[in-house]
Structure 1
Amino acid sequence: MHHPDLCIAGAGIIGLSLALELHHRGYRVTVFDQGDPLAESSSAAAGMLAAYDPDNPSQLLPLATLSLSLYPNYLDRIHSLSGIRVPFQTHTTLQSVPTRTAATSSELTAKDLSHLFPALVPRKHRFILLDEHSLDPRQLASALLAAIHATTIDLQPHTPILSTRPVGNAVEITTPIGTMQTAQFVNCAGAWAAASSHQPGIPVTPKKGQMFSVVLPPSLPMHFVVRTPDIYVVPRTTGPSAGRAIVGATVEDIGFDKIVHPSDIDHLRSLAITLLPILASTQQLEAWCGLRPATADGLPILGTLPGRPNHFIATGHYRNGILLAPATAKVMAQLILGETSATELTSFSPNRFLSELPSP
């Protein structure tokens, strides 16, 4: 086997975005995945770039806003390599806010809502308008994978990493196809970051999310996201899925179960119909689920693993993997190269959870 500069475990949106960034900086990169690239939460997501979601932890905002600023160049780089342009689907979100919060200048009155969106039934909800984009993660996945294939990045699907250990100034990696050495290693295995046998003790757990898609009726020209604490409706306005909407999502702490339950989908549908009664007549197209990588404080884990020389980790992005991919790629590349980070990373340090990992 060859000897790359860096190996990545996990070919999801985080791992492949980091691989692309490091390749751009001249690194020889190999990416291993136990399954197919971008086949898990990266393509199961709704695609909201929800940097200003009031449910996000406040510590996430600097990284989230950095990522928003990087998104145009990130999509341009993917386009230049793949020839595939990934468009934004929406540019505004109608966000529910708690009734206990003070009124803001952006809060919409019932009259405003009836004018903007006659199909909406506010009921208990108060709403504000957020300047927020969304995109189709499946479009992004296709373009990103094509971009990876246009480079010299060595992508190894269906190749789990069995073990890693420091060897001098290098890292020895064992897979079913052999053993290799690399200068540095990054765990980007998402919800499987802790389940991987090569790095026990990572405090990331899977949070199951079930969701479904519908055909929007012509009488509902929906061009922005509607989101409450219980439900979101994310329209697709352009591309092969134009005229559809994604409705989600459950949040379940039941391990790696990926079974879609009709009763859960029916419950999501009833919540959506309560908010948008016109959805009662829509045709359901498909239902699916993904496993979000969650941490106890809702923040990613980004940094160097304690007790493991040349081992890094970038996981735990929970519901914001699509949003945070460009910023994660940038700050992790800066950390790996010994540069000053574009934003403060203390809140995301592995040290907040991890004591020294077991010796290899």
Structure 2
Amino acid sequence: MRVVICGGGVIGACTAWFLRRRGIDVIVVERTEIAAAASGKAGGFLARDWCTGTPLDALARRSFALHAQLPGEIAGDWGYRPMTAYSGLVVPDGDARRNLPSALGWLANGVAIAQTIGTTATTAIVHPRKFTSFLMDAALTQGVQLRRGRISGIVRDADGITASGVQVEGSVIEADAVVIAMGPWSLLAAQWMNLPAIYGQRSPSIVYDTGGDVPADALFLEHEDNGVAVSIEVFPRADGSTHITALSDIAPLPLDPAAVTPDQDAIARLQAMSERLSPLFRPEKIIARQACFRPVTQDGLPLIGKVPQSEGVYVATGHNVWGILNAPATGEALAQLIAEGTTQIDLSPFDPARLGPLDPSLLHAR
């Protein structure tokens, strides 16, 4: 059996790894580079039980466990480490608490820590680009093939339903099954099959070189920006970098992932907020000013499973802020579904058929 995976992000890499472990021939087709989009620019934060009470709970718990397990199975250091997570408030100007020392000594005065919301048993982090790259490298070592090129369609049998391959740069790669894992660019696949709407939410971020000065403490803070409350997230990584993000918005999705750029006004505002958090976040310490588009769906749940009205076609996208967290369990479940027809985790809440097909006018508007 041969499976073609469309997309070289974290979902594609995890799916390739778990399929190959079952002895299945796999070809990954990527237009730009591995982890080129959100898989390389996200925060990489992991939480075991933050989806409790939602349809994502079982997927998140299984994936959190896999994240802890994979460093013992795959060569490479992608910075997996448990961490503590805190919520808090950046005290606004004029508040009497503005000059009070923070409970965390590396933060500036007036950054008030409210409570612990994650412990080293329940929260962790990876460097997303390194995680995706090492996982893909491991899959390639096991025999997965990587092809560069832009996918332009699904090839089908005479019945018009059953997939027999994909079109890439004018040629055909034959396959028994096809997986669409192109993040928000999975929207383009709606031209070839019956897929629900997928949207891209843009998230700007700044990465600082903080060395060993910032402990393993993730922060989720409320910050007042121009009179509006803004949530800002801080993720220190094991490699000495710290990822800070806020001010997500909806923007047109470029056709080429390589064309994604941050809004400069949002980056300037984010930099000003970051400098308010700690003297460690200085302009000369900035490694990257960037943005990525996270794939989201109408109901906030991912699309994982068989594509309606298509045989041998599967999709995995729409994970929103939990893409890095839930990638291993998503890849494992897809591999089970393709190879065995059943899954360890109930995927019915994520069935693509639960949502109606994409309105073609949305696609043409892009």
Superposition TM-score, scaled by structure 1 size: 0.81
Aligned pair count reads 332
5 Å matches for 1:219-258?
Answer: 220-228=213-221, 230-237=231-238, 242-257=239-254, 258=260
Matching residue of 1:148 = 139
CA separation in 2, counterparts of 1:357 and 1:180? Answer: 29
Matching residue of 1:266 = 268
Q: Out of 345, 349, 352, which is 1:347 matched to? A: 349
Verify: 1:128 aligned to 2:117, yes or no.
yes
Which SS does the other structure have where 1:59 is aligned? coil
* Structure 1 gap ranges (5+): 98-110
1:104-148 CA deviation, whole Å, 9 max, x = no partner? Answer: xxxxxxx99726766463459555344300011122133123213
Indicate if the aligned counterparts of 2:153 and 2:166 stay in contact, CA closer than 8 A.
Answer: yes
CA separation in 2, counterparts of 1:118 and 1:11? Answer: 37
Q: 1:293, CA displacement in angstroms?
A: 0.9
CA separation in 1, counterparts of 2:131 and 2:184? Answer: 20
Verify: 1:179 aligned to 2:172, yes or no.
yes
RMSD: 3.0
Which SS does the other structure have where 1:297 is aligned? coil
1:300-358 CA deviation, whole Å, 9 max, x = no partner? Answer: 10111111111111111111111111100111112112343222222111111135999
CA separation in 2, counterparts of 1:52 and 1:95? Answer: 16
Q: 1:224, CA displacement in angstroms?
A: 1.4
CA separation in 1, counterparts of 2:283 and 2:2? Answer: 55
CA separation in 2, counterparts of 1:173 and 1:135? Answer: 32
Residue 182 and residue 91 in structure 1: after superposition, are their counterparts in 2 closer, same or farther (change >3 A)?
Answer: same
Matching residue of 2:192 = 198
Matching residue of 1:101 = none
The percent of aligned pairs where both chains have the same amino acid is 23
Q: 1:256, CA displacement in angstroms?
A: 1.5
Indicate if the aligned counterparts of 1:70 and 1:326 stay in contact, CA closer than 8 A.
Answer: yes
Report the residue type matching 2:232 in the other structure.
I
Q: 1:268, CA displacement in angstroms?
A: 1.5
Matching residue of 2:103 = 114
Residue 142 and residue 37 in structure 1: after superposition, are their counterparts in 2 closer, same or farther (change >3 A)?
Answer: closer
Q: Out of 17, 21, 43, which is 1:20 matched to? A: 17
Residue 139 and residue 279 in structure 1: after superposition, are their counterparts in 2 closer, same or farther (change >3 A)?
Answer: same
CA separation in 1, counterparts of 2:288 and 2:125? Answer: 20
Q: 1:96, CA displacement in angstroms?
A: 4.7
Higher mean alpha-carbon deviation, 132-141 vs 165-174, is at 165-174
Higher mean alpha-carbon deviation, 153-162 vs 88-97, is at 88-97
Report the residue type matching 1:78 in the other structure.
I
Residue 282 and residue 62 in structure 1: after superposition, are their counterparts in 2 closer, same or farther (change >3 A)?
Answer: farther
Indicate if the aligned counterparts of 2:86 and 2:113 stay in contact, CA closer than 8 A.
Answer: no
Matching residue of 2:93 = none
* Structure 2 gap ranges (5+): 90-99, 223-230, 255-259, 361-366
1:138-182 CA deviation, whole Å, 9 max, x = no partner? Answer: 221331232133122121122424333344655242222422432
Matching residue of 1:63 = 59
Matching residue of 2:227 = none
Higher mean alpha-carbon deviation, 324-333 vs 257-266, is at 257-266
Report the residue type matching 1:353 in the other structure.
L
Indicate if the aligned counterparts of 1:10 and 1:188 stay in contact, CA closer than 8 A.
Answer: yes
Matching residue of 1:41 = 38
Q: Out of 160, 171, 189, which is 2:182 matched to? A: 189
Matching residue of 2:209 = 215
Q: 1:227, CA displacement in angstroms?
A: 1.6
1:255-287 CA deviation, whole Å, 9 max, x = no partner? Answer: 225222332112123333444466467732221
Which SS does the other structure have where 2:33 is aligned? coil
Residue 277 and residue 19 in structure 1: after superposition, are their counterparts in 2 closer, same or farther (change >3 A)?
Answer: same
CA separation in 1, counterparts of 2:150 and 2:59? Answer: 31
1:234-255 CA deviation, whole Å, 9 max, x = no partner? Answer: 1123xxxx33311113322112
Residue 70 and residue 199 in structure 1: after superposition, are their counterparts in 2 closer, same or farther (change >3 A)?
Answer: same
Q: 1:199, CA displacement in angstroms?
A: 3.5
CA separation in 1, counterparts of 2:101 and 2:112? Answer: 14
Residue 57 and residue 213 in structure 1: after superposition, are their counterparts in 2 closer, same or farther (change >3 A)?
Answer: farther
Matching residue of 2:257 = none
Indicate if the aligned counterparts of 2:149 and 2:169 stay in contact, CA closer than 8 A.
Answer: no
Matching residue of 1:316 = 318
Which SS does the other structure have where 1:320 is aligned? helix
Superposition TM-score, scaled by structure 2 size: 0.80
Residue 250 and residue 157 in structure 1: after superposition, are their counterparts in 2 closer, same or farther (change >3 A)?
Answer: farther
Matching residue of 1:336 = 338
